[in-house]
């Protein structure tokens, strides 16, 4: 399956969501053949676990996983799809750092898409691992013409 969206198109699509803008996402790389997408997310005080800790809140990290996974799959589907399952393993705290999420599409099926996401800090330390499933049934119906 080849990419439907380019980096500028993907950046524009992500920018439509006010929620995603809390993280100031920057699409870094798109590898359609490898089915991988890299996005950088910027730390902000609104994303802190507690005031003045400069530590990412776990919920914000999970949102990074979901956002990267969603748009990693959108590269193939042409649109963001709804999340139906999300799992995140937190490996270490992310303190005073931006985050880079690399999404790898594992399955882009008729009813479900599955994406694995690795989240790293500025030192290239793995902060979290996630797996997200998305409902692809609506996309498949539209792409099949039904």
For residue 12, pLDDT over 90 is answered with: yes
pTM of full prediction above 0.85: yes
pLDDT tens digit sequence for 85-125: 999 999 999 999 999 999 999 999 889 999 999 999 999 99
Domain carrying residue 104: 7-143
The answer to whether residue 1 is domain-embedded is: no
Beta strands in the chain (DSSP E): 26-31, 36-41, 83-90, 99-108, 112-120, 126-135
CATH of the domain at 86: 3.10.129.10
Query: CA angle, corner 84, sides to 69 and 134, nearest 5?
Result: 40
Q: For residues 110 and 125, what is the distance between their CA atoms, to the nearest angstrom?
A: 35
Q: Answer whether 36's CB lies under 8 Å from 69's CB.
A: no
For residue 138, pLDDT over 80 is answered with: no
The answer to whether residue 82 is domain-embedded is: yes
Average pLDDT over all residues of the chain: 91
> Any alpha helices (H) in the chain, and if so which ranges?
7-15, 18-21, 58-77, 137-143
- Domain tally, the chain: 1
The answer to whether residue 72 is domain-embedded is: yes
Contact residues for 58 (Cβ-Cβ < 8 A; gap 6+): 49, 88, 90
pLDDT of residue 146: 37
pLDDT interval class at 140 (50, 70, 90): low
pLDDT of residue 58: 96
For residue 141, pLDDT over 50 is answered with: no
The answer to whether residue 2 is domain-embedded is: no
> Hey, which residues does 119 pair with through a beta bridge?
101, 128
* Exposure letters 100-109 (e unless 16+ CB within 10 A, then b): bbbbbbeebe
């Amino acid at each position: 399956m080849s990419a439907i969206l380019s980096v500028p198109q993907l950046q524009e699509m992500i920018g439509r969501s006010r929620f995603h803008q809390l993280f100031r996402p920057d699409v870094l790389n798109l590898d359609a053949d490898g089915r991988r997408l890299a996005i950088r997310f910027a730390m902000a005080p609104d994303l802190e676990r507690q005031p003045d800790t400069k530590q990412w809140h776990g919920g914000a990290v999970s949102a990074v996983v979901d956002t990267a996974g969603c748009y990693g799959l959108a590269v193939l589907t042409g649109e963001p799809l709804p999340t139906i399952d999300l799992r995140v393993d937190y490996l270490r705290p992310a303190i005073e750092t931006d985050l880079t999420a690399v999404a790898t599409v594992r399955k882009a099926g008729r009813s479900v898409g599955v994406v694995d996401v690795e989240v790293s800090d500025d030192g290239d330390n793995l902060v979290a691992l996630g797996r997200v499933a998305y409902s692809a049934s609506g996309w498949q119906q539209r792409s099949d013409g039904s």
